[in-house]
């Protein structure tokens, strides 16, 4: 029986993780979890799983639900996420909160010797070199939950590294793949949230519509697998059945394909290094029909090029890319800026904010904050956003 902690259990990845836990009650025991604001989900999960401790991170809710519910202790505030992951009974931590704020509990989990099932890509993008140093120091087992990276992780393990020429991440193309380019400026939040193949949280769904999610994933892949940016490619694959491809030196391509449902990578990351037992949800290849692959159109998806630019620059630049995007997407979701302003704001941040090569967590956090302040200033002054 492996003890599990899920940070952000009320979100899309969190909900899929609960599905896996329900399917394998003899293998996994939910010992702790966090929600930000969603008390109803927290309450129901406490009743179902009886964890030792849970955390409610929204500062507006501090103390609101008392110190305990049934036999479960309730903690408040994001600092308490560290207590959740450090529990002796926890063996694996699923990081499914959204945004670079996931860094502190991720570091705490690494230092406490836990296995990490990492969904929270913003942490890896912003703090990649730091996380990698800690992972090496503590011999951490870190398994990517992001579907493309989980697919690549599995493919790379089956191949000799020197035989791999390049890796490819697939992208569905998001909500606006076939929309006329001139209409992009005027798309609504509702349209952006209507993803054709994946059901995900709002931030990543907007990220996907502009292929900025794929840009974050290119950087995530660089830090996870150590390939150079010239060896990481992106292909549009509208069906979202193939998730990752490795090209071998002999000219072959090995594809990882599965029905687009996060339960597969989540289950793999929880069971790893053991194989996942047969899943209840099965989709046969005979139901998949067509596989299409196209190169991404960089006019439609300028954010993807910006991600490569930030990744290649290194240092704090990926974090500047990420923080600018987090702020811009939040403004778009609040209907304060247009969809096409998102990459414009990111580009402006990358051009205007000085890149540095931080040695410490604080160094990265300072650039993250400087970028967020910059985007808010740009918005308030109506610069790039008008
Ligand atoms: P959601 O928006 O669905 O869920 C986010 C979770 O984080 C919720 O539990 C939410 O709590 C919590 N949360 C929100 N704000 C805060 C905060 N300020 N502090 C602490 N917790 C907070 O996101 P997803 O599940 O879609 O994505 C989570 C992460 O996984 C992201 O990094 C994303 O890029 C990555 N990912 C997601 C995939 C997917 O299929 N969704 C696929 C691959 C990666 P509450 O609901 O209670 O407010
Ligand atoms: Mg993904």
Over the stretch 214-227, which tens digit does the pLDDT of each residue have? 999 999 999 999 99
Q: CA quadruple 49, 50, 53, 58: dihedral positive or negative?
A: positive
Q: How many CB atoms lie within 10 A of CB 40?
A: 10
Express as a percent the part of the chain with pLDDT over 70: 98
Q: Output the CA 159–ligand 2 centroid distance in Å.
A: 22
Nearest CA residue ID for atom 14, ligand 1: 36
What is the residue whose two structure tokens read 């604001």? Answer: 37
Nearest CA residue ID for atom 2, ligand 1: 201
Segment 271-326, tens digit of pLDDT: 999 999 987 666 788 888 899 999 999 999 999 999 999 999 999 999 999 999 99
- Rounded CA separation 315/185 (Å): 32
Q: Pocket around ligand 1: residues whose beta carbon is below 6 Å from it?
A: 8-14, 35-38, 57, 78, 96-98, 101, 119-122, 146, 198, 200-204, 262
Q: Output the CA 165–ligand 2 centroid distance in Å.
A: 22
For residue 275, what is the DSSP state? Answer: P
Residues 174/209, Cβ–Cβ less than 8 Å? yes
Q: Output the CA 358–ligand 2 centroid distance in Å.
A: 27
Angle at alpha carbon of residue 345, lines to 339 and 348, rounded to 5°: 150
- Rounded CA separation 360/334 (Å): 33
Q: Output the CA 194–ligand 2 centroid distance in Å.
A: 16
CATH architecture of 2-140: 3-Layer(aba) Sandwich (3.40)
Cα pseudo-dihedral 350, 355, 357, 358, rounded to 10? -90
Segment 241-263, tens digit of pLDDT: 999 999 999 999 999 999 899 99
| Ligand that comes closest to the CA of residue 261 | 1
Nearest CA residue ID for atom 31, ligand 1: 98
Mutate to test the pocket of ligand 1, among 97, 100, 116 (most ligand atoms within 8 A of CB): 97
- Tokens for 295, please give them: 């190169």
Q: Output the CA 204–ligand 1 centroid distance in Å.
A: 9
- Rounded CA separation 265/158 (Å): 16
- Tokens for 49, please give them: 């799983």
For residue 384, what is the DSSP state? Answer: T
Q: How many CB atoms lie within 10 A of CB 195?
A: 17
In the chain, domain spans: 2-140, 149-380
* CB neighbour class for 247 (10 Å; exposed up to 12, middle 13-18, buried from 19): middle
Report the DSSP pairing between strands 72-76 and 164-171: unpaired
Closest-lying ligand 1 atom to the alpha carbon of residue 198: 40
Strands (E), the chain: 2-7, 28-35, 53-56, 68-69, 72-76, 92-95, 115-118, 142-144, 164-171, 232-236, 242-248, 253-257
The pLDDT value recorded for residue 199 is 84
Nearest CA residue ID for atom 13, ligand 1: 36
- The DSSP result for 204-260, as a single string, is HHHHHHTTHHHHHHHHHHHHHH---GGGEEEEE-TT--EEEEEEETTS-EEEEE--S
Residues 168/234, Cβ–Cβ less than 8 Å? yes
Nearest CA residue ID for atom 45, ligand 1: 36
Closest-lying ligand 1 atom to the alpha carbon of residue 200: 41
Q: Label residue 385 by pLDDT band (50, 70, 90).
A: low
Q: Output the CA 240–ligand 1 centroid distance in Å.
A: 21
Query: Helix axis angle, 121-137 relative to 317-333, nearest 10°?
Result: 150
- Cα 41 from chain centre: 21
| Ligand that comes closest to the CA of residue 207 | 1
- Tokens for 238, please give them: 């509208």
CA proximity to 242, closest of 167, 297, 308:
167
Segment 3-19, tens digit of pLDDT: 999 999 999 999 999 99
Mean pLDDT along residues 207-212 = 96
Domains 2-140 and 149-380 share a fold: no
Q: Please determine, for residue 386, whether its predicted confidence score (pLDDT) is greater than 50.
A: no
Q: Please determine, for residue 102, whether its predicted confidence score (pLDDT) is greater than 60.
A: yes
Nearest CA residue ID for atom 23, ligand 1: 201
Cα pseudo-dihedral 222, 224, 225, 228, rounded to 10? 10
Residues 174/210, Cβ–Cβ less than 8 Å? yes
The CATH code belonging to domain 149-380 is 1.10.1740.10
The pLDDT value recorded for residue 284 is 81
| Residue 171: strand pairing partners | 236
Mean pLDDT along residues 320-333 = 98
Report the DSSP pairing between strands 72-76 and 68-69: antiparallel
Q: Output the CA 159–ligand 1 centroid distance in Å.
A: 32
């Amino acid at each position: 029986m492996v003890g599990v902690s899920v940070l952000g259990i009320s979100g899309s990845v969190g909900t899929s993780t609960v599905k896996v836990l329900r399917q394998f009650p003899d293998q996994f025991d939910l010992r702790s979890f966090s929600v930000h604001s969603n008390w109803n989900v927290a309450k129901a999960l406490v009743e179902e799983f009886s964890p030792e401790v849970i955390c409610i991170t929204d500062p507006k809710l501090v103390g609101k639900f008392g110190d305990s519910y049934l036999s479960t202790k309730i903690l408040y505030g994001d600092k308490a996420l560290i207590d959740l992951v450090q529990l002796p009974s926890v063996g694996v931590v699923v990081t499914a909160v959204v945004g670079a704020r996931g860094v502190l509990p991720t570091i705490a989990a690494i230092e406490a010797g836990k296995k990490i099932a990492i969904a929270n890509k913003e942490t890896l993008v912003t703090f990649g070199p730091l996380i990698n140093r800690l992972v090496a120091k503590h011999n951490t087992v870190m398994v990517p939950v992001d579907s493309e990276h989980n697919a690549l992780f599995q493919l790379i393990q089956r191949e000799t590294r020197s035989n791999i020429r390049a890796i490819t991440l697939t992208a569905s193309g998001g909500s606006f793949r076939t929309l006329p380019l001139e209409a992009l400026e005027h798309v609504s939040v509702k349209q952006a949230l209507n993803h054709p193949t994946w059901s995900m949280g709002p931030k990543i769904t907007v990220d996907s519509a502009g292929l900025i999610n794929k840009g974050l994933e290119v950087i995530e892949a660089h830090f996870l697998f150590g390939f150079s940016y010239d060896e990481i490619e992106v292909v549009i694959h509208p069906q979202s059945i193939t998730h990752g491809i490795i090209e071998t030196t002999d000219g072959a391509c090995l594809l990882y394909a599965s029905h687009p449902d996060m339960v597969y990578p989540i289950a793999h990351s929880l069971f790893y290094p053991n194989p996942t037992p047969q899943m209840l949800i099965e989709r046969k290849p005979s139901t998949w029909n067509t596989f299409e692959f196209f190169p991404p159109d960089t006019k439609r998806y300028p954010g993807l090029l910006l991600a490569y630019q930030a990744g290649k620059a290194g240092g704090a630049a990926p974090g500047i890319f990420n923080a600018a995007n987090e702020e811009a997407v939040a403004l778009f979701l609040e209907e304060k800026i247009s969809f096409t302003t998102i990459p414009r704001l990111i580009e402006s941040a990358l051009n205007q904010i000085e890149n540095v090569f931080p040695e410490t967590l604080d160094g990265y956090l300072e650039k993250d904050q400087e970028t967020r302040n910059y985007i808010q200033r740009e918005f308030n002054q109506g610069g790039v956003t008008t």
